Amino acid sequence: MKFDLSGRWLPIVRRLPVSSPVADVALTFDDGPTEETTPALLDLLAAHQATATFFLSGVRVAARPDLVGAMVAAGHAVYAHGWEHIRLDRVAPDQLIADMARCEEILSRFRPTPVPYLIRLPYAGGYRNPRVHATLRRLWPQGQIAHWSGHFDDPGLAAGCATAGQVEAAAPERVRQALDRPDLPGTVLLMHELAYDIDSPVRAEVSLTLTRHILAELSQRGLRCVPMQPHAHPPAFSRWLLR
């Protein structure tokens, strides 16, 4: 017996739509907001006329909802990254929906709920799991899984550094290497604010130092940071095109 799952999958998007201006990239931040990172990140982004996309953690939003207001006021896009930062592919469907919806409920006080909704799952848990897709489709029928195509392993850098000086020494080369790729325009870049589960005294320094170098490098390469965009015509069978 054959099952047709094509109507159940949500699109998985990893780059800006091909219709985007060729000089655009999308810088995305997971796990915020935090008082240690968000105000300084907003200053850095403003200094470069850059706009970003924040996938926010509900428990941290609840602690500092004012920081969400500051993000939205500055023109950045905000979406839910779950309430608790847990693997949502390991919970019951109703809990998955409740966890995501609870986070978006607070965000919706600051801007209308976007349609299509961009979904970034904690740990990317279940992003290629048909049950997770079918469950998320109940919550956001036009949802799109917001994956990425470039990253800096900022949690790994935090885990390997003990001082701000070590972060500063490692950051420029790490950023250059990650951005030195022919398909950089259109890339969706992943960063974190105080990445979860990393035991390091320099998590905030890593978020801020890397972002400072990323923005400088992108400016130097003539690229502009824009919010991540849903795809108007998501690629069919995009799940098969993934790494």
Least distance (Å) from Zn ion to the CB of residue 196? 6
Rule CB under 5 A: is residue 154 a binding residue for Zn ion? no
Rule CB under 5 A: is residue 30 a binding residue for Zn ion? yes
Residues 79, 102: Cα–Cα separation, whole Å: 12
Residues 17, 6: Cα–Cα separation, whole Å: 21
Q: What are phi and psi of 175, to 5 degrees?
A: -70, -45
Q: Which one, of 116, 144, 106, 120, lies nearest residue 53 by Cα? A: 120
Residues 129, 134: Cα–Cα separation, whole Å: 9
Q: Where are the beta strands (DSSP E) in 4-105?
A: 12-13, 24-30, 53-56, 77-80
Rule CB under 5 A: is residue 99 a binding residue for Zn ion? no
Nearer to Zn ion, 30 or 89 (CB): 30
Rule CB under 5 A: is residue 89 a binding residue for Zn ion? no
Least distance (Å) from Zn ion to the CB of residue 30? 4
Instruction: Give the residue closest to Zn ion by C-beta.
Output: 30
Q: Which of 31, 89, 104, 193 binds Zn ion (CB under 5 A)?
A: 31
Q: Which stretch binds Zn ion (CB under 5 A): 25-33, 88-96, 157-165, 228-236?
A: 25-33
Q: Encoding tokens for residue 208?
A: 């801020």
| Residues within the interface to Zn ion (CB under 5 A) | 30-31, 122
